[in-house]
Structure 1
Amino acid sequence: MVDVEDLFESLFGGRAGGPRSFGPVRGADTEAELTISVEDAFHGDRRKITLPAPSGGTREYEVTIPRGVTEGSRIRLAGQGGSGTDGGPRGDLYLRVHIAPHPRYRVKGRDITVDLPVAPWEAALGATVPLETPDGVVQVHAPPGTPSGRRLRLRGKGMPNPRGAPGDLYANVKIVVPPKLSDEERHLLEQWARVSTFDPRRAG
């Protein structure tokens, strides 16, 4: 014959009808959003942020943003999550990274796209022009006959990757026409128009 109380004691560590103890229980992991700039994602940063605390109210956290972090990545703050029970450890807090829209840079994964303004004669004749990137100014060569909308690839100049190859940077050529011409500029353009056989409606 089975003793019910002995069975409860062996299965649950307590007598039937009495308090049951399961030992220390780890606290729950929690998650919050962290919005950063393209520059902070590129270079990394260390900052203090204020978030709702798991136990109520708000709490200040010190966060290290890794260099080269990408959209949707999670930053783990160990032991900053929910409280444990019966002496159990706290859970972890995970910050899900969101990279804010930027007026110049468009980020997809580790690749960065930026517009490259060039003058009509630079596009036609070819030129090496400066381009501002998150890592500083670089020189970009536009070959002769570069059309508007052409993407020039700068290998390895995109978002850094601590565990592998960095992304690429794409310079999107944008031909910019002078808003106002001098008399000499107008004269030269009129000369060009007279001698040129190029028809943009039939090009390509």
Structure 2
Amino acid sequence: MARDYYEVLGVGREASAEEIQQAFRKLARRHHPDVNRDPAAEERFKEINEAYQVLSDPKTRQRYDRFGPDFRKIPEDYDERVGAAAGGGAGGFRGGAFRRGGGFPGGVRVEDVSGGFGAEGGINIEDLLGGMFGGRYGGAMPGADQEAELTLSVEEAYRGGRRRISLGEGSVSRDYTVTIPAGVTDGQRIRLAGQGGRGRDGAAAGDLFLVVRIKPDRRYRLSGRDITVDLPVTPWEAALGASVPVDAPGGTVKVTVPAGSSSGRRLRLRGQGMPNPKGTPGDLYAEVRILVPPSPTARERELFEQLAAASSFDPRKRT
């Protein structure tokens, strides 16, 4: 089955005509086969174009919303009363530029059909894209935006700073100096203006977007900007209370363990999580883990035995 046209353009079903046009322009620039050298770009461009041609026409969009992928099979003189009883009938969609499952007649390139939508209220892609491809996709042409992943440790994401990276393979790799904002989160994009695909005939280069990926860490667990870290404590620290150090991405901080704390208790250090240059920073949560001496000395064993004899506490007894 063909993909949902709204999904193709990345818009909701309630999107306005302007939002649909903006989404198309953005995707068309990124996936146009004269800009994007990915072998799959041309098919993706055809799919985007087909979705736009349907959703940009109010009448066609209304039919698509009502009948879904089968809207082309419903005659345009479809009678509501007859259709409700008989379930519609076979028919065609006026204008043969689109076909389900392919979008364009086999063997026809994008540029061969791009100017053919002017008749009967159709849309000329060159007009819509503001001539960004220089007329029939020749002449000056802006470079394509590109993406790459930037893998960081939790500490690197926390501190930010400048980092030199190399993208590409072998002799065709390029070096970049990247300024990483303090507190970047997983999935955040860092824009390097003018560092994407090269333009043609003097046109501006595209942008390079680095998508941040934060490596899993055995010490730190991230949830948005909040950080959780295990806090090992001794049985007596948990029972009597203590001030103990916590290993945080920004350095060691002190946390007060209340008397009577059990394993799993979460102690919140407000504002000690991931920084946020544009708002409130996250919090740091220290999760108590009570550890006992793996090989107690004779004196430690004696004291534990005395405690066992003196205490009536039963952790397995429900209170």
Q: TM-score per shorter chain, which class?
A: 0.7 to 0.9
Pairs within 5 Å for 1:93-112: 93-112=208-227
Pairs within 5 Å for 1:45-84: 45-52=161-168, 57-84=172-199
Q: 1:72 to 1:23 in 2, by over 3 A?
A: same
Q: Which ranges of structure 2 fall in alignment gaps of 5 or more residues? A: 1-123, 127-134
Which residue does the alignment assign to 1:153?
A: 268
Q: Which ranges of structure 1 fall in alignment gaps of 5 or more residues? A: 1-10, 13-18
Q: Please state how far the C-alpha of 1:85 moved relative to its aligned partner.
A: 2.1
Partner Cα separation in structure 2 for residue 88 and residue 179 of structure 1: 68
Counterpart residue type for residue 156 of structure 1: G
Q: 1:82 to 1:123 in 2, by over 3 A?
A: same
- Give aligned pairs, total: 186
Q: 1:29 to 1:189 in 2, by over 3 A?
A: same
Q: Please state how far the C-alpha of 1:20 moved relative to its aligned partner.
A: 5.6
Q: Does 1:29 align with 2:145?
A: yes
Partner Cα separation in structure 2 for residue 163 and residue 50 of structure 1: 29
Q: Please state how far the C-alpha of 1:203 moved relative to its aligned partner.
A: 4.4
Q: 1:81 to 1:194 in 2, by over 3 A?
A: same
Pairs within 5 Å for 1:85-124: 85-124=200-239
Q: Please state how far the C-alpha of 1:87 moved relative to its aligned partner.
A: 1.9
Partner Cα separation in structure 2 for residue 121 and residue 88 of structure 1: 70
Q: Please state how far the C-alpha of 1:22 moved relative to its aligned partner.
A: 6.3
* Bigger RCO (CA 8 Å, 6+ sep): 1
Which residue does the alignment assign to 1:6?
A: none
Partner Cα separation in structure 2 for residue 138 and residue 48 of structure 1: 30
Partner Cα separation in structure 1 for residue 256 and residue 205 of structure 2: 54
3-state SS of 2:236 partner: helix
Q: Does 1:185 align with 2:300?
A: yes
TM-score (norm 1): 0.85
Most deviating of 70-79 and 177-186: 177-186
Most deviating of 59-68 and 20-29: 20-29
Which residue, 171, 193, 200 being the options, matches 2:315? 200
Q: Does 1:171 align with 2:286?
A: yes
Q: Please state how far the C-alpha of 1:105 moved relative to its aligned partner.
A: 1.2
Q: Please state how far the C-alpha of 1:23 moved relative to its aligned partner.
A: 5.5
Counterpart residue type for residue 114 of structure 1: V
- What are the Cα deviations for residues 17-46 of structure 1, in whole angstroms up to 9, with x where unaligned? xx9686532111000000011111111121
Which residue does the alignment assign to 1:134?
A: 249
Which residue does the alignment assign to 1:40?
A: 156
Whichever structure has more helix as a proportion of its residues is 2
Whichever structure has more strand as a proportion of its residues is 1
TM-score (norm 2): 0.55
3-state SS of 2:307 partner: helix
CA RMSD of aligned residues (A): 2.0
Q: Please state how far the C-alpha of 1:135 moved relative to its aligned partner.
A: 1.5
Structure 1 stretches of 4+ moved >4 Å: 19-23
